[in-house]
Amino acid sequence: MNNDFLPLATKGVQGLNPYQPGKPIDELERELGLKNIIKLASNENPLGPSPMATKVITANLADLSRYPDGNGYRLRNKLAVKLGVAEEQITLGNGSNDILELVGRAFLMPGHEVIYSRHSFAVYPLVVQASGAAAVVTDAKNWGNDLAAMLAAVTETTRLIFLANPNNPTGTWVDRISLQGFLGKLPANIVVVLDEAYFEYVTEPGYPDGLNLLKNFPNVIVTRTFSKAYGLAGLRVGYGISNNSIADILNRVRQPFNVNSLALAAAEAALDDMAFIETSKKMNTAGMKQLTSAFDDLGLSYIPSVANFVAVKVGQHTKTLSAMTVYEKLLQSGVIVRPVANYDMPDYLRITIGTKQENEKFIGLLRQILLSK
Ligand SMILES: *Cc1c(COP(=O)(O)O)cnc(C)c1O
């Protein structure tokens, strides 16, 4: 009997390599029989969710037999007021990855080209590959998006561009003037996804708020999420902001109940807790300093990052310890970080900024590993 159905899958799906998530805490606990594991691997908020979000979840448990509001009326309304856009411009997603998928499903087919940069977010190749479109991967400049190279890669069949600002896993960013210049030179029929998953963390004055670009550039879709600064990654809720026409298209391919009721309620409550975002942001800025000073101390180079993670080069430190070895040794001591060889960065590890104590423990272990080999 033939149990291999892969030949029956579409060509795009046949070529897919599943996304590799950070190692879950549970899994490492089972493997090592350890407690107090520290996870600095998935850019999650180390403070957990806002207490206001957890509180409404309990209050909403009794309604779990009901379908959620398929239009997400209250959350969209609240986001619209907060962001100064119309409700019709907002598309809710099961995480912002869902929005990336919807864009792929709505706009891409075989014969189209999609441009994104080397070292950019791993979901972009997945979306492109699944649709049967062709990926055009441009070289990076100082590890970040090279806008000139992306412009040069545009052809008649370019349908879509993915641009993460800041980018994951490099933490690099594009400034307002460069981004405006780029969009101004781009043919208006190319859809641009401006992925702002780490928007809330960025403190650089020259960092552009993508929403201000929507008026002049109706081909832009901004995506944001409750998974990172808002601390709700486990609930899966994110959103896209675009002009009405694009939002209407995304809504046609969206599953009617793609965001569950607890996620809707928690996200709404989280929007009321701006003090939590402020605290998270301050802790992140301090934690970034803590980590990068330690890297300087250890003579390790890293990619300057404006997000809640930093990519550090450990493979170069010694010829005998590869980044993968350092990763494994950290794991054995109960600290999970992220190897990024699958992003074409085999000498780097991506470290999510944790609490002060978590960072301290990580730094101590890293020092031990590097100096005692
Ligand atoms: C984490 C991340 C996302 C979104 O994740 P969701 O949990 O699906 O909202 C999107 N883009 C980038 C670049 C990310 O790092």
- CB of 233 closer than 6 A to ligand 1? yes
- Residue 98 burial (10 A CB sphere; 0-12, 13-18, 19+): buried
Average pLDDT of span 41-69: 96
> Which is the closest atom of ligand 1 to the Cα of 121?
13
Element (H, E) at 365: helix 356-371
- Run of H or E residues at 309: strand 309-313
In a domain, 138, yes or no: yes
Is 344 within a domain? yes
Within a domain: 41: no
**Can you list the pairs that 212-217 forms with residues at least 24 positions away whose Cβ atoms lie under 8 Å?**
213/179, 213/180, 213/183, 214/85, 214/89, 214/241, 214/242, 214/243, 216/180, 216/183, 217/183, 217/188, 217/192
Where is the domain boundary, 270, 295, 313?
270
Q: Express each pLDDT in 239-271 by its tens digit.
A: 999 999 999 999 999 999 999 999 999 999 999
Q: Whose alpha carbon is nearest atom 12 of ligand 1?
A: 197
The confidence score (pLDDT) of residue 42 equals 96
Domain boundary among 244, 270, 296: 270
| 96 in contact with ligand 1, CB cutoff 6 A | yes
Q: Tell me, yes or no, whether 42 lies in a domain.
A: no
Which atom of ligand 1 approaches the CA of 226 most closely? Answer: 9
Q: Report DSSP state, residue 7.
A: G
Is the CB–ligand 1 distance for residue 227 below 6 Å? Answer: yes
Query: Per-residue pLDDT tens for 191-218?
Result: 999 999 999 999 999 999 999 999 999 9
Within a domain: 194: yes
| Average confidence (pLDDT) over 118-144 | 97
238: domain CATH number is 3.40.640.10
Which carries the bigger pLDDT value, residue 40 or residue 11? 40
Number of the ligand 1 atom closest to the C-alpha atom of 43: 1
Q: How many domains does the chain have?
A: 2
pTM of the predicted structure, to 2 decimals: 0.96
Residues 82 and 229 in one domain: yes
Residues 212 and 319 in one domain: no
Q: Is 372 exposed, middle or buried (0-12, 13-18, 19+ CB in 10 A)?
A: exposed
pLDDT at 3: 85
| Confidence band for 317, pLDDT divided at 50, 70 and 90 | low
Do 58 and 182 lie in a common domain? yes
Q: Are residues 161 and 181 in the same domain?
A: yes
Nearest-angstrom CA–CA distance, 354 and 37: 12
3-state secondary structure of 233: helix
Which residue has its alpha carbon closest to ligand 1 atom 14?
197
Residue nearest to atom 3 of ligand 1 (CA): 197
Q: Give the residue, by CA position, lying nearest to ligand 1 atom 6.
A: 95
Residue to probe by mutation, ligand 1, list 101, 102, 124, 225, most atoms within 8 Å of CB: 225
Query: Where in the sequence is the domain holding 140, given as residue range(s)?
Result: 51-270
Instruction: Report which ligand 1 atom has the smallest distance to the Cα of 225.
Output: 9
Residue 44 lies in a domain: no
Q: Is 168's C-beta closer than 6 angstroms to any atom of ligand 1?
A: yes
225 C-beta closer than 6 A to ligand 1: yes
Does 325 share its domain with 228? no
Write the pLDDT tens digit of every residue in 10-19.
988 898 888 8
Element (H, E) at 107: helix 96-107
Dist CA 303 CA 119 (whole Å):
12
Q: Measure the CA–CA gap between 373 and 369, rounded to whole angstroms.
A: 6
- Decide whether any atom of ligand 1 lies within 6 Å of the 150 Cβ: no
